[in-house]
Amino acid sequence: MHNILLPAKKLSGWGRYPVEECFIAKPSTVMDVQMLLKKNKEIKNWIVYGLGRSYGDTPLNKNGGVIIFTKWNHFISFDVQSGILECEAGVSFNEILDIVVPRGYFLPVTPGTKFVTVGGAIANDVHGKNHHVDGTFSEFVKDFTLLTASGEIVRCSRSENSELFWATIGGLGLTGIILTVRFQLIPIETTYIDVHYQRAKNLDEALLLFNQSDEKYQYSVAWIDCLAKGSSLGRCVLMRGNHAKLEQVDLKQRKMQTQNKNKISIPFDFPSFALNSFSIKAFNAIYYNIHPKNEKKIVDYEKFFYPLDSILHWNRMYGKRGFIQYQVVFPLESCQAGLTKMLERLSESKRSSFLAVLKSSGDENQGLLSFPKRGFTLALDIPYDDSLFDFLKSLDELVISYGGRVYLAKDSTLSPEHFKVMYPKVNEFRRIKEKIDPNHLFSSSMARRLGILED
Partner 1 sequence: MKNVLILGATSDIAKAIAHQLARENVNLILAGRNENELNRIAADLQVRYKGNYYPKVFKPTEYEKHNDFFRETVKLLGRLDGVILCYGYLGDQKIAEQDNSMAREIIEINYLSCVSILHVAATYFENLRAGFICAISSVAGDRGRQSNYIYGSAKGALSLFLQGLRNRLSKLGVKVITVKPGFVDTKMTFGHKGMFLVAKPDKVAKDIISAIKKGKPILYTPFFWKWIMLIIKLIPEKIFMRLSL
For partner 1, the binding residues in 365-424 under the rule CB under 8 A are none
Residue placing its CB nearer to partner 1 in the complex, 88 or 396: 88
Measure the CA–CA gap between 248 and 51, rounded to whole angstroms: 35
Residue placing its CB nearer to partner 1 in the complex, 23 or 304: 23
DSSP string, 25-44: E---SHHHHHHHHHH-TT--
Smallest distance, partner 1 to C-beta of residue 265, A: 16
Measure the CA–CA gap between 153 and 147, rounded to whole angstroms: 4
Please state the length of the chain.
455
Smallest distance, partner 1 to C-beta of residue 101, A: 13
Contacts with 42 (C-beta within 8 Å, 6 or more apart), sequence order: none
Element (H, E) at 246: none
Residue placing its CB nearer to partner 1 in the complex, 179 or 239: 179
Smallest distance, partner 1 to C-beta of residue 69, A: 14
Residue placing its CB nearer to partner 1 in the complex, 30 or 317: 30
DSSP state of 10: E
Asked if 75 interacts with partner 1 (CB under 8 A), we say yes
Binds partner 1 by CB under 8 A, chosen from 19, 39, 76, 427? 76
What is the contact mask toward partner 1 in residues 17 to 46, using x (rule: CB under 8 A)? ---------x-xx-----------------
Alpha-helical regions (H) of 192-334: 203-213, 277-290, 301-305
Q: Which amino acid is it at 121? A: A
Contacts with 238 (C-beta within 8 Å, 6 or more apart), sequence order: 196, 197, 198, 199, 200, 206, 209, 210, 220, 221, 222
Piece of 1-9, 38-46, 344-352, 396-404 that binds partner 1 (CB under 8 A): 1-9
For partner 1, the binding residues in 270-329 under the rule CB under 8 A are none
Binds partner 1 by CB under 8 A, chosen from 44, 62, 78, 311? 78
Smallest distance, partner 1 to C-beta of residue 71, A: 8
Residue placing its CB nearer to partner 1 in the complex, 30 or 186: 30
Residue placing its CB nearer to partner 1 in the complex, 78 or 287: 78
Measure the CA–CA gap between 250 and 252, rounded to whole angstroms: 5
Piece of 73-81, 196-204, 283-291, 440-448 that binds partner 1 (CB under 8 A): 73-81
Smallest distance, partner 1 to C-beta of residue 397, A: 46
Piece of 71-79, 347-355, 357-365, 402-410 that binds partner 1 (CB under 8 A): 71-79
What is the contact mask toward partner 1 in residues 155 to 184, using x (rule: CB under 8 A)? ------------------------------
Q: Which amino acid is it at 255? A: K
Measure the CA–CA gap between 176 and 141, rounded to whole angstroms: 17
Measure the CA–CA gap between 78 and 416, rounded to whole angstroms: 42
Residue placing its CB nearer to partner 1 in the complex, 29 or 294: 29
Measure the CA–CA gap between 201 and 358, rounded to whole angstroms: 14
Beta strands 46-49; 65-68: pairing state: parallel
Smallest distance, partner 1 to C-beta of residue 390, A: 42
Residue placing its CB nearer to partner 1 in the complex, 3 or 82: 3
Smallest distance, partner 1 to C-beta of residue 181, A: 14
Distances (CA, A) of 390 to 74, 161, 396: 44, 42, 10
Smallest distance, partner 1 to C-beta of residue 260, A: 14
Residue placing its CB nearer to partner 1 in the complex, 29 or 63: 29
Contacts with 425 (C-beta within 8 Å, 6 or more apart), sequence order: 368, 369
Q: Which amino acid is it at 13? A: G
For partner 1, the binding residues in 93-152 under the rule CB under 8 A are 98-99
Per residue in 88-113, is it b (16+ CB within 10 Å) or e — as a string? bbbbbbbbbbebbbeebbbbbbbbbb
Residue placing its CB nearer to partner 1 in the complex, 77 or 159: 77
Residue placing its CB nearer to partner 1 in the complex, 75 or 278: 75
- Within a 13 Å sphere around the CA of 401, how many CA atoms are in the beta-carbon half? 11
Residue placing its CB nearer to partner 1 in the complex, 98 or 428: 98
Size of the site for partner 1 (CB under 8 A): 16
Smallest distance, partner 1 to C-beta of residue 369, A: 31
Measure the CA–CA gap between 359 and 375, rounded to whole angstroms: 9
Residues near partner 1, by CB under 8 A: 2-6, 26, 28-29, 74-78, 87, 98-99
